[in-house]
Amino acid sequence: MSESGMMLASLHPVHHCPGRVRWRYQPGRAALDEAALMLAIRELAGVNSVRLNRRACSLIVEFDEQVLDALQLGERILALNPAPRSHAPLASEPATSRTRLAANVAAMLGVNLLPIPLRLPLSLLMTLPVLRHGVGELTTRGLTSHVLEAMAVSISLASRDYLAANTTAFMLELGEYLEDSISRRSDDMLRDLLKPSSDEIWVERDGVEVQVPASEVAVGDTVIVGTGMVVPVDGTVLGGEAFVNEASMTGESRAVAKQRGDAVLSGTVLEDGRIRIYAEHVGQRTAAARIADYVQQSLTAKSEVQLQASQLADQLVPRVLGLATGAFLLTGDGRRSAAVLQADYSCALKLATPVAFKSAMYAAGKAGILIKGATALERLAEADTFIFDKTGTLTNGDLVVTDSVTFDNAYSADDLICLAASVEEHYFHPLAIAVVEASRSIKGRHFDHTEVEFIVAHGVASEIDGKRIVVGSRHFVEEDEGIDISRHQAALHQLYLEGKTLLYIGYGGNLIGVIALRDTVRHESAATLARLRASGVKRILLLTGDHHDRAMELAEQLGIDEVFAQLLPEDKASIIEELTAQGARIAFVGDGINDAPALAGAHVGIAMQRGADIARISADIALLKDDISAVAQARELSCSAMSLIHDNYRLTLGANTAILGAAAVGLLSPIAASVLHNGTTIGILLNALRGRQA
């Protein structure tokens, strides 16, 4: 049974430079027609030139990188199945396969009804693809399962058992057709994961709503989405209210209310209402595009268990051949040897494992979890220690105002909040959103200000009544603006000890007050940690830069085993390195820029949805929904996938060993062995698809 019905079974990159790539290819099951293949590649969008060296198995393609990249080009080439130029082109690959199947059925059922002189020519015609493929594999790759299949057919033909030869050809063709359908289905699962977005997007330009091509939308644009439309970007709601169906991204069927400050993801559908969105990720950087991109890239990498399965399958081929040879030497029965050669381990071992991985990654992607490869899935199942960052991970990251402390009698506590909110309302930062939200629930003075100045990673500045007002971090107010805060050090230190985040407000060169904010623990955090323990996790730790007392309070609340507090960014990576050296297999969950080294150094890194870009890049797994329970969901899914893979592994070995044993002692004819082997393999592949239901 073949792993590919295309002209090329695989492409291995040898050299890649801008606009040019050279691959070493492995011929597929179909006959390689150089002219037809090169013509088909030239017709692909973005391809400029093609060179193919059949003797060296080398393929060189020059292409336009603005149209597609090397990875996409390779995938499209592997998907090609051009008809040989000496034949009329066929409608489609599935139609071609069905035609070959019908011909094999007719030959299998009618061969013994034909006059004896015609039986051998017909059987040779039907089995020629099997024989040719076996000879090709023997000369290029040595002894493989395809060589065993060709030997089984040859023995049947030599012994004039034409029914057995044609039955074998039919079962191989049927198996190849079903395998290809299953493999194609697992590769194409992403097609129904997200609804396609329109090529035209409504944006607000200079106060006017205009429709522009999707390719022209940039970060910072204001995108308009109305009822029934698909959200085309990732971003934050600037204004308006709507109910958004996020089922395509989170699996949650109930529409979610969205208003100012809420995050929205591309690929979700606006069921009712109208919103204005500040575009934060566009094009290939949106969540929808990243799902397809991450999972597609992941399919090119093999996990440890995949490599082991492939190695075992190759190692067992000579043993099957030895068993067939031994059976013939002991009994002199060629039919018994042909029956043994029908049953090998290769196809089920090599195909079921990647299909199971693809299915599991599809299920994860649909649940809003990006798993960057089979290796990441495998490592997540192996992890015995989970380490969490605190802020934005176990806590919401949605700050709430707890204190408004004024240092100027001219302003009340409520005035201070309203003063800060008047300039912060134009800024989309968690601190700013929290202050604006707090101002809505109080009655304070109204402050008119001039144009707001945004100072990245520091705060905002403006003018009120001719005086400069600054709202932001201590560093911004004290060092950049030169405002003295030493007189209020005692009050500030007490707020810090309480684990609160401080927003400093300077007006006219003086510190007039601070607003204290505090994060809240996620409602799902405790349940998530309990689910992780139930899945086999032995230890759960907390790493944070926060004060030790606050960290211990959270640990006691959630039942965390050990706490490391008041850490610098490099400390987190050092702790993970030390624990790894002690034998721990660590899954680290974080979201900040300072978590990137820890995410990269862990056995498997998991980045939260609202994490920094570098955190998501460094992580092996990235969450697309702001839900800590997705960490437990990913862990459970990985354990389920690995359990399914190991079950299929044992089933493959058990079933094929039983078939081989029965064939070797003469209990199975070549026909029965072929039917049982191919039927078992197809059943195992179908079982592997269960991963998408996880």
The span from the CA of 154 to the CA of 499, in Å, is 78
Instruction: Note the maximum CA span of the chain.
Output: 112
Dig out the tokens for 629 from the structure: 């329970």
- Work out the angle at residue 50's Cα, subtended by the Cα atoms of residues 48 and 52, and round it to the nearest 5 degrees: 175
Question: For the chain, how many helices (H) and strands (E)?
Answer: 23, 24
CA dihedral of residues 668, 672, 676, 679 (deg, nearest 10): 170
Alpha helices in 367-451 (DSSP H): 374-382, 413-424, 430-439
| 399 C-beta neighbours (distance < 10 Å), count | 26
Cα distance between residue 562 and residue 575, in whole Å: 12
Q: State the Cα angle at 69 between 65 and 75, rounded to 5°.
A: 140
* CA-closest candidate to residue 12, choices 68, 53, 70: 70
Residue 377's CB is within 10 A of a number of other CB atoms, namely: 30
| Close Cβ partners of 10 (under 8 Å, ≥ 6 residues apart) | 4, 25, 26, 78
Selection from 12, 212, 181 nearest residue 94 by Cα? 181
- Residue 663 is which amino acid? A
- Please, is 15 exposed, middle or buried when counting C-beta atoms within 10 Å of its C-beta (0-12, 13-18, 19+)? exposed
Q: Record the tokens describing residue 47, joined without a space.
A: 């391809």
Q: How far is CA 82 from CA 38, 43, 91, 95, in A?
A: 9, 11, 11, 13
Pairing of strands 453-455, 459-464: antiparallel
Q: Is 389 a catalytic residue?
A: yes
Q: Measured between alpha carbons, how far is 569 from 291 in angstroms, rounded to an integer?
A: 29
Nearest to 471 by CA among 425, 403, 402, 439: 425
* Of 180, 389, 519, 626, catalytic: 389
Report CA 599 to chain centroid distance, whole Å.
17
Residues that are catalytic: 389
